[in-house]
Every structure is written in C-alpha cells, then in structure tokens.
C-alpha cells in the first residue's frame, strides 16, 4: 500500500510546497496563496499519517521478532491488539488510495457527445445525462448544465455538466470513454434493435485562474448567434462563443447564457479543464511507458455496454463487472462499477 501511495513522491511534493510558501511575494495574490496553503496542509497531513503508520508497523514488527527469538508469548498476546488496530487502519487508508491523484479531490466537468446514428445516439446522450445527474443527486453532489446542444428531433447532440463536490473527479474519471447502448428503438416504426454510441469526457475542474496559464495570443474567440427552436427563442445578437486554443487545436463552444461575457467565462473554464486533463494524460502515459505498461491509444475506447434487448445487462469491459439491474444503473446507481474500476487502478499502481 505504501508503494501504491508513493510516499517518497508525496514527501517530495510536500517539500516543494513548503519552499514555495516561503518565497518572496507569496502572499501578493491572497486567493492563490490560500489555495496553496490548503494544498500544503492536505499533503502534510497525509504524509504525517503514513509516516506514523510506517513507524507503528516497524515497531510492531521489531517487537514480534524479538518475542519470537525469546519465545515470549506474553509480548505476542499484547501485540495482537496493536496488529488488529493497524489492520483496520490500513483498510481505511486503502480506501483513501482511490483518491490519491493530484486532481481526484476536485469537482469535475463532464461532457457527453452523441455518436454517429442521429436521433438514436442523441437520445442515448440525453439518457446518459440523466444518469449522471441522478448519480450526483444520490451522492449529495451539485449538478449544473454549463452548455448543451439539442438534437434535431430528440435528445442532445452534446452537453457539458459541472458536478461539484469532494472527490467527484476521482470517482467520475472511471466514466471517461465510449458508452454503448443496445435496445429496441423507440424511433423506429418497425421497432428494430439499434446500437448507439456516446462519448463521455471527464475533466478535473481548475481551482484558480492562475493554475493554468493561457497566453491571450494562443486563444482565438469567434462569436455567433445561439441556436434555438425558432420564434422567440432565436437570439437576435451574437452571444454564443467559440474558443480555439491554437497550440493544441482544442475548440470549446458555449451558448447557454444570454450574455456573451458569461458564455466566454464558461467556455474558458471548460478550456482550462481540458488543458489540465491533457497535461495529466501526458504524464500518466509517460509514467506507464516507464513502468512498461501497455498504453492505450486514447481515452475514446469503448468502456461499457448497456444492453436492454434481447436480454438486460450492463457490463464494464475493463473490470468485467456486470449487472442485470439496468434500470438501477440508468437511474444513477453506479457505485459498483466505480468501485471496481478504482480498486483495479490501485492494484495497477
């Protein structure tokens, strides 16, 4: 577990944070400094806790070795309570390892894009949106639509949600990838079976504007009229915003708000989250290569299938976790799948 937690790396991170907190001009930006100090406190508490556990384990091991050499059963009996306590504590810390990543404790931006298939996939994107909103509600998290694009007949072409709360990103990163639906189509007059796809993108929310530095010249902003259902819903002015990050080619659009300024702020928030996720993805791929692990070509792999006909089954293709209770899953009961994914990641670290 200490290897999975990577205590040396956390200790190195703690020392770096301590040095930064003593630099000249550290408090010139109070908001950034406060966020830094919160992070410093969190890392110090974790490092101190694992160091303390390590000392307790070493002490218990030494005493038990001495007791074995001297055949002292009294010491062995006395240490049994300590070893039981250590086992319980390690079990609790194993749960915490699920959220040991640099962004795991944060809120998340979740984007869903309908795949090929027109109305079928757009309806599937809307079903997934409801599923994640219900998951947020079940777990006491906030869920807000940042931007959405309605389908031509039904459903959604795309939607961006902000899901806020502790460890939201750490949980929802398990959902990143392609989700596949098999069902009898409600849009097919012959009621034939259809397969639909939607891509789910999960991004860690950026905590401060200074966390991701974006040069003004690196972003091109285009404005256009927001799309609507017609009549009074059509915008007469250009309030929708499209941001293009020139170095990476990342494009973000936002048209939900009636104010161009609000749309730009929301689009910038999503852009910063995508840039943060891109950098994190690069670091993870580099570490995987150093370990000799297989590196996937991208995050767009099919991760889960939801079959509603001819039988009912939801199966995660990474963990092999499955259930026949499709209604519960589509109503936001994702705990089994998320826990299985996170447990698997701990085993790979």
The domain boundary residue, chosen from 54, 76, 99: 99
Among residues 318, 104, 311, 300, the alpha carbon closest in space to that of 199 is found at 300
Q: Residue 25: phi, psi to the nearest 5?
A: 75, 10
Q: How many domains does the chain have?
A: 2
CATH code, domain carrying 32:
1.20.58.410
Asked whether residue 149 falls in the same domain as residue 272, the answer is: yes
CATH code, domain carrying 246:
3.30.70.1660
Q: Token pair for residue 41?
A: 């406190």
Tell me the residue range of the domain where 290 lies.
105-349
Asked whether residue 47 falls in the same domain as residue 110, the answer is: no
| pTM of the entire predicted model | 0.71
3-state secondary structure of 241: strand
Burial 105-140 (b: 16+ CB within 10 A, else e): bbbbbbbbbbbebbbbbbbbbbbbbebbbbbbeebe
**CB atoms closer than 10 angstroms to residue 190:** 6
324 neighbors 313 (Cβ within 8 angstroms): yes
DSSP 121-144: HHHHHHHHHHHHHHHHHHTT-EEE
Asked whether residue 114 falls in the same domain as residue 19, the answer is: no
Asked whether residue 85 falls in the same domain as residue 223, the answer is: no
The domain boundary residue, chosen from 80, 99, 118: 99
The domain boundary residue, chosen from 55, 84, 99: 99
| Helix-, strand-, coil-residue percentages of the chain, each rounded to 5 | 50, 20, 30
3-state secondary structure of 161: strand
Asked whether residue 113 falls in the same domain as residue 11, the answer is: no
Asked whether residue 216 falls in the same domain as residue 336, the answer is: yes
Asked whether residue 242 falls in the same domain as residue 302, the answer is: yes
Asked whether residue 35 falls in the same domain as residue 148, the answer is: no
Q: Are strands 177-184 and 250-254 parallel, antiparallel or unpaired?
A: unpaired
Return per-residue pLDDT of the chain as tens, 349 residues.
444 567 888 899 899 999 999 999 888 888 778 878 877 887 888 888 888 888 888 888 888 888 888 887 777 777 777 888 888 887 777 766 778 777 888 899 999 999 987 899 999 999 999 999 999 999 999 999 999 999 989 999 999 999 998 889 999 999 999 999 999 999 888 888 999 999 999 999 886 555 677 888 999 999 988 765 443 444 456 789 999 999 999 999 998 877 889 899 899 989 999 998 888 777 777 655 554 554 443 344 689 999 999 999 999 999 999 999 999 999 999 999 999 998 888 766 5
Asked whether residue 85 falls in the same domain as residue 112, the answer is: no
Asked whether residue 86 falls in the same domain as residue 110, the answer is: no
Asked whether residue 21 falls in the same domain as residue 149, the answer is: no
């Amino acid at each position: 577990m200490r290897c999975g937690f990577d205590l040396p790396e956390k200790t190195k991170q703690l020392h770096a944070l301590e040095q930064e907190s003593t630099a000249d001009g550290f408090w010139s930006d109070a908001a950034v400094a406060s966020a830094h100090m919160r992070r410093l406190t969190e890392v110090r508490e974790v490092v101190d806790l694992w160091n303390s556990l390590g000392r307790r384990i070493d002490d218990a091991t030494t005493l038990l070795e001495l007791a074995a050499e001297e055949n002292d059963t009294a010491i062995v009996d006395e240490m049994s309570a300590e070893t039981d306590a250590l086992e319980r504590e390690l079990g609790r810390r194993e749960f915490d390892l699920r959220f040991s990543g640099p962004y795991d404790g944060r809120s998340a931006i979740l984007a869903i894009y309908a795949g090929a298939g027109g109305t079928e996939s757009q309806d599937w994107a809307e079903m997934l949106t409801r599923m994640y909103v219900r998951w947020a509600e079940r777990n006491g998290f906030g869920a807000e639509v940042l931007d959405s694009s309605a389908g031509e007949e039904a459903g959604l072409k795309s939607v961006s949600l902000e899901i806020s709360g502790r460890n939201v990103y750490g949980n929802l990163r398990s959902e990143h990838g392609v989700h596949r639906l098999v069902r009898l189509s409600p849009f097919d007059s012959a009621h034939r079976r259809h397969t639909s796809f939607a891509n789910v993108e999960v991004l860690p929310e950026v905590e401060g504007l200074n966390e991701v530095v974006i040069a003004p010249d690196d972003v091109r902003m285009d404005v256009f009229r927001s799309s609507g259902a017609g009549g009074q819903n059509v915008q007469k002015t250009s309030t929708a915003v499209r941001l293009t990050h020139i170095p990476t080619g990342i494009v973000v659009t936002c048209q939900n708000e009636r104010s161009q300024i609000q749309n730009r702020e929301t689009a910038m928030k999503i852009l910063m989250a995508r840039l943060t996720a891109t950098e994190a993805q690069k670091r993870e791929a580099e570490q995987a290569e150093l370990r000799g692990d297989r590196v996937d070509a991208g995050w767009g792999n099919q991760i889960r299938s939801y079959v509603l006909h001819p039988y009912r089954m939801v199966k995660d293709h990474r963990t092999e976790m499955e259930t026949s209770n499709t209604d519960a899953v589509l109503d936001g009961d994702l705990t089994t799948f998320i826990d299985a994914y996170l447990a698997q990641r701990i085993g790979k670290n």
